[in-house]
Structure 1
Amino acid sequence: MKGVVQKIYHNSYTFSFFVVIVLFHRVLSISVSTLSSSETLTISSNRTLVSRGGVFELGFFKPSERSRWYLGIWYKQVTEKTYAWVANRDNPLTNSTGALEIYRNNLVLLDQLNKTVWTTNLPSGDAKSPLTAELLANGNFVLRNSSDNNDDPSEFLWQSFDFPTDTLLPGMKLGYDFKTERNRFLTSWAAEDDPTSGDFTFKLNFTRKPPEFLLLMNQDWIIHRGGPRFGIPAMQGSDYTVYNFTENNEEIAFSFLTTNHSIYSRLIMRDSKLMEFTWIPPSSAWKPSVDSVFKHICDLYLTCGGPNTYCDENTSPICNCITGYVPKNDTAWAERDERLGLSSGCVRKELNCQGQHRFFQLNNTKLPDTKTATVDRRIDMNTCKERCLSDCNCTSFAFGTAGLGCVTWTGDLVDIRTYNEGGNVLYVKVSADDDADSSSGEKSDRTGKIIGLTIGGFSVMLTLIVIFFCFWKRRDKQAKADATPIVANQVLMNEVVLPRKKRNLFGEEDEVKDLKLPLMEFEAVVAATQHFSDVNKVGKGGFGIVYKGRLSDGQEIAVKRLSEMSAQGTDEFMTEVTLIARLQHVNLVKLLGCCIYEGEKMLIYEYLENLSLDSHLFDEARSCLLNWQMRFDIISGIARGLLYLHQDSRFRIIHRDLKASNILLDKDMTPKISDFGMARIFGRDETEANTRKVVGTYGYMSPEYAMNGTFSMKSDVFSFGVLLLEIISGKRSRSFRDSDSNLNLLGYVKFKITFLLFDLYFNNNNKKILNQVWRNWSEDQGLEIVDTAVIVDSSSPTFRPREILRCLQIGLLCVQELVEDRPMMSSVVLMLGSEGVLIPQPKQPGYCVASGSSLDTQSKQRDDGAWTVNQFTNSIIDAR
């Protein structure tokens, strides 16, 4: 009996142990970081390897339900699934049968037929001892001898760090290893849920001297150039990372390390963007610590086209000839702001090799393309300078410590840009008698003093003359006013009696003068608008009425007379006067002056003959005149104007009220952005801001701005996307409803073109597909995607279905719900201007509100369809 009891007890213990093992098998197994020669990692077992410290995890995964299986590494502790490395990215497993094992001296990944789909591909040979694969604490997956217990990379037989995918982790290296002859580079994913190698790569061109990192498309088309030794200010380190560039006989490599091991940081390629993300516990999301290494239009390779030019975001136009050079083609150069990348560049002024030369100093510069450069790290700065002076073919030189050495260029200088700070100094050789300013300090002190005294004396005399004139003018006006009867001191305007007494809104007249904006006489404005006659009224908005006028010299003007009843009129007036007066761009409306009288504040603009975009777009008769070419030119112009506001102007400006009625058209239908009363100026280091009062127009406001009061450049991008879709569809976003599907304009367009875009990408240049697109448009029973006015003109060469689909896709990218998913305007301009740029697939648009929502009801209340020259819509809601 006792034996029976012992047997039962033993069996019970065995059964309990078996149950524990089964129930907690996964928990027990995931704590292992190694895979031995006798073990196998399979999809069906759900087993994974977890690094020491529990930061990284290796196993099998599917990016989406419709995806295939991949072997990869991801962050274990980060809530958002984030992949750092993929083994078989270009050869996925077709089903859930797959195994990773060590075979002889290689790691191999086998499919359901035991065929190898991925291997470490080491040379065959007998291993010294049994091998072990281990996932290290830094995320490096290595293969080494089981007897090696240290983390010395020289002892590894193979490591994943030598084969990056789209992510650079701390400790990984990008660049060329001379011993292994391996160039380590990043390659983007094909799509957000597709790890397959994409079209963009970031790699080192080590054949150039000095070497440079290039961001390429399709392996050979240069999109961005990093400059010698990766001399980009954005990549000089951040709050949590330290960057390092190494160049010696063994390797040329870029790497970075984190200063705080509790903070995770990674450098990742997202299409053509190179970004750094940081995750700080206990956060649930990654934050961009470097928004984009290449984010400005000046970062594009050959932005200004031809040689001997440089791109400067603080000048308008942004393309300039280098000092000592002149435009090769004056006509093409004059159009360079409209035709970026197409100019013929600049040529050197006559330079006699036997003459006297000096150097012009170009500061904060990305140095020219090093294809025609040579480097010598053995000489000092003075020797480098003398070498370039003595060489007739030398056009410029640069000298840098920390390994750059003496770099000299011969021939043309290509792809230069300047930064606000950082970068290098480029010394350009020019003639000694060149009249260009030199910042190198080589002009004599005597000449400088003479010029300074002359300018100073002239400035003092000019100031005295201006003061005397202003004093005389004021005394003369006062004398005239005293001699005029009181009844004549008033002017009747639309039954409103206004005194002529002038009052300075800013407190002091000198403050107005500092704006360098002409103060127009009140009488001149009254005469130009025929006493503000209703006949000259061309628009009305939330801040007042707009009148057409003609000055005595024949110039036509538009006068925005701000309403006295508006509580925000003064703030809006101050914003517009102080802001737009300093902006100059072909796609921004030009402010000519202002007029300030007691109770009256008026802004005087250039008059644009074709009024506002909505007067054409949403008018049945006028919309027929807008063919696709005209619409595309308008879209491109608005994009360039918005890019100027965000990145190219002296200030970073967020418009906050971009809509069709705020786009004006001149006689050539060139679009000009207007109404800056709601605009905000951002600092160069600011990315977003919050406000308690949300102002703008329903239907154009981004979700995060309308609901939370958070605005940024991406808020304007959202408004631009809505505007782009309106231009294509010819329908107002605020008033459009699809009665069958209960979708607004953004939701409807997303639904209608999803399958069209699929066909477009996988059946390029296929006439049948275009016919299918046309057939779907013409057979729609509800609202068609494209304005009928454009479709009617389909036989014209200006009707380009592929281009329309590209614009639809760009518009949908701009109106995505998540801020981080929307592109910057620099990317939008690039996508609009080049058919070779791969456009990502858009996600769900933001603000697809059903027709029964309260927000939609409110938005319809002001949808009167009125067209104006300068229309303001001021909607104020409390941020939630």
Structure 2
Amino acid sequence: MRSVPNYHHPYFIFFILILFLAFFVSANTFSATESLTISSNKTIISPSQIFELGFFNIATSSRWYLGIWYKIIPIRIYVWVANRDNPLFSSNGTLKISNNNLVIFDQSDRPVWSTNITGGDVRSPVVAELLDNGNVLLRDSNNRLLWQSFDFPTDTLLEEMKLGWDHKNGFNRILRSWKTTEDPSSGDFSTKLETSEFPEFYICNRESIRYRSGPWNGIGFSSVAGTNQVGYIVYNFTASKEEVTYSYRINKPNIYSILSLNSAGFLQRLTWMDAAQSWKQLWYTPKDLCDNYKVCGNYGYCDSNTIRNCNCIKGFKPMNEQAWDLRDGSAGCMRKTRLSCEGRDGFARLKRMKLPDTTSTIVDREIGLKVCKERCLKDCNCTAFANADIRNGGSGCVIWTGEILDTRAEGGQDLYVRLAAADLGDKRIKNEKMIGSSIGMSILLLISFIIFHFRKRKQKRSIAIQTPIVDQVRSQDSLMNEVVVSSRSYKSKENKTEYLDLPLIEWEALAMATNNFSKDNTLGQGGFGIVYKGRLLDGKVIAVKRLSKMSSQGTNEFMNEVRLIAKLQHINLVRLLGCCVDKGEKMLIYEFLENLSLDSHLFDKTRRSNLNWQKRFDIINGIARGLLYLHQDSRCRIIHRDLKASNVLLDKNMTPKISDFGMARIFGREETEANTRRVVGTYGYMSPEYAMDGIFSMKSDVFSFGVLLLEIISGKRNKGFYNSNRDLNLLSFVWRHWKEGKGLEIVDPINIDFSSSTLRTHEILRCIQIGLLCVQERAEDRPVMSSVMVMLGSETTAITQPKRPGFCIGRSPLEADSTSSTQRGDECTVNQITVSVIDAR
């Protein structure tokens, strides 16, 4: 006869309890009916018992955190911390699922941390799950993902976790160090993936860059030593419309390796070694002086094998010889010989170099080095070029259009730096100079004859079209100041005759007015050339926009700007005084505006203090009025296509005036949108539909206005935004604060006292809301400028709630005929590549 167990026996009850606790502790899921408490030491464990989620404290600290660590490894290392900046100060904390969110409650049942899921009701039961890769997921009963910890990394990148920009969800995944080795709260150091056209990592100390990884070269980030020598790690880099991310996976079982940013600011690769029972550091960065950002300044490179570390690139010399001798190369180098920009320049090949900072670059992945070199020579702003991808012998083209900085020798790739012919040591160039000298005298008479004949023909032509010329002695001074006022015409590409009711000003007059285009008279420089301040002999002060001879803006774009501005008359648009097409030059003459451009005030630490809220509000209204005139009230509807802070000029009364119409397009009254293959403009101000599909309309200008409005309010640039550990750019920063009800926290604190007046506070919040309406992702959701003017001018007009902003994350591949009204490094569409690299064992 089988004996019946005694279910009330104390040993049996104890055995059942042990089994229940063991089952509960080892479970990898967590439902709304369960909770974790600090005092019970309960945890959630992944299915293969690799990772563990629970509460912990460090050493003798009284602060408690919810975190994840390796259960399978005896030496505990915390790879994720939920409430790192909101610790529990008692051992009575609880983790629960509340209102479809994971929430940590303190001893008083007050929430201190939450997954903060908003938007949409989740009526089905919610379950949290810890996976074997260390990711915590929050799902509903339909297996729909609601939240995951991988989207919010702390200081550690785990296998399959992505670092970088998620365009679909609108946030940037970064690593931020612990404050100290004993304090998990957010430290000063962060690692961010710069999602430019040629992406690379930065390690930042607060807002200043400490280290740059070098761009992704098809195999790895070029200056991160050791990343290409770990055979069991597969590196993945993706750049597309959806994301710009970096991740890795391990193709060998039972290997545990992490990438972490420690509290001292070092990014390191750690792998667990079973034999030694310890974490082994495979590599770390920055590792030496040469890894410090810009340690050798512009046009200098660092080499740890040389005595002085800092060296000048061939064709350059130290900017400060005395400091250089003292081993301080931070001032950088300068050219020995100025570039000619007339096709006679050449290139010095620098082998195995860390490529320069990629802020001002243009990338075309469809061409090779030969075509890349030709394009660089044709662009006067080009300073260097290289392959974009070093695999299979090299492919693609990257061109630098700004100063070369933060380069180092050792372990990179070939870089071709542009030099004047005299600095190349080329015998052919020397021979050409000798030949040129020998025949110079022979052609002098011929040149004199051509000049004389040209002037005679010009005089006859002027008489034939009855051009009124002041009858006076043509002394040198009077010739240089001569202004011929007439109605002139030119032939467009369509062979149509276009008439320009503008003064044509002689080249000599402009040369004299600008002191022969002296560097001291330079007001600024853009992608098409330099703007000079000048003074005519009658005392009138002017601004002269001199297009570079190698500029991508041809006669058609030039005459387009002349034709457009000649027809525009508005207080908030810059006034064109004349133009010059002479001696192979193309120049525009504008009214001189004493306070230069808006960006020179808004983003300058000293000048920005002069922009109180009233001045900023007046500038916002002025820009809006100018844009409304272009879209609605001018004789022809005009889409500007390049509205930005540097294209808004300020007169002596700080009245804003929209300038630079080289990329503008005329629309018919019935037209709503157009499409172009040539996406031009400035990264950070371009609407998503224009950047990605080439579709532009009045709504693309509205988007640019919205970006500009938010920049004016915050005093921060949309491009190159590093101020937040969760935001890629200013738009996501403002959007997050707006959703959290903290809109006033984005306002420039320097000179805006929004606490002193309720009306001003309301006015500022209203402007933020208008800005967010203008930058909504879908063009049809954005208001027209007439509605914007109504909203700006009325405190009682109801304003709808904005939807999610659009984010522009990349730039356009280089096109042979592409142009821009800014420096080329600012062009933008989306560059789509996906690369998976497997390192050799």
| TM value normalised by structure 2 | 0.48
The higher-RCO structure (CA 8 Å, 6+ apart) is: 2
> With structure 1 as the length reference, what TM-score do the two structures score?
0.46
